Amino acid sequence: MRFLSIISVGVALLVGGCTSIQVQPLDASTTLENVCIEKNEKVIVPNFLNVVRQGFTRHGIITKVYESDLPANCEFMLTYTALRSWDFATYLSHAELWLHTKNSRQVAYAEYHLNGGGGLALNKWASTESKMNPVLDKLLVNYK
């Protein structure tokens, strides 16, 4: 019986606490209607940019993607990075989002991190959407 208790605690430690989410949400006093997102060609996580755009849309914020120079009419810009890991299949293991004014002042930040590469946690193979939606919702908690 004691052996089973030790096993249960061990499994809980391996599986639990595998995900870290840190968010500095956008302040409600900030007027934000649209965001220009700088496309990061180095990000190869499938569907990542679409998930981010859908998250902003869900909160009533229009997004526009640009690839080189920031368009002149952009008041806010979002940059991001996302990394994937592999364990029989690829999965999102880390992502960061930075929201800045056009004058480069950071106004919000969010980070998703799968601690220890996910270990034995089966949710490490969850979709990018199911991992990033809670992060985006916390980032934009003060909007719709």
Predicted local distance difference test score (pLDDT) of residue 86: 79
Question: Structural domain boundaries of the chain?
Answer: 19-139
Mean pLDDT rounded to a whole number for the chain: 87
> Architecture of domain 19-139 in CATH?
2-Layer Sandwich (3.30)
Q: Compute the chain's Rg from CA coordinates.
A: 18
d(CA 110, CA 95): 8
**pLDDT per position as a tens digit, 90-104:** 899 999 999 999 999
DSSP 62: E
Handedness of CA 37, 41, 43, 45 (dihedral sign): positive
Average pLDDT over residues 42-59: 97
| Structural contact between residues 92 and 132, judged by C-beta atoms closer than 8 angstroms | yes
Q: Render pLDDT for 87-142 as a digit per residue (tens, 0 to 9).
A: 888 899 999 999 999 999 999 999 999 886 655 566 787 899 999 999 999 999 99
Helix and strand element counts for the chain (H, E): 3, 6
Higher pLDDT, 45 or 70: 45
How many angstroms separate the CA atoms of 43 and 39, rounded? 9
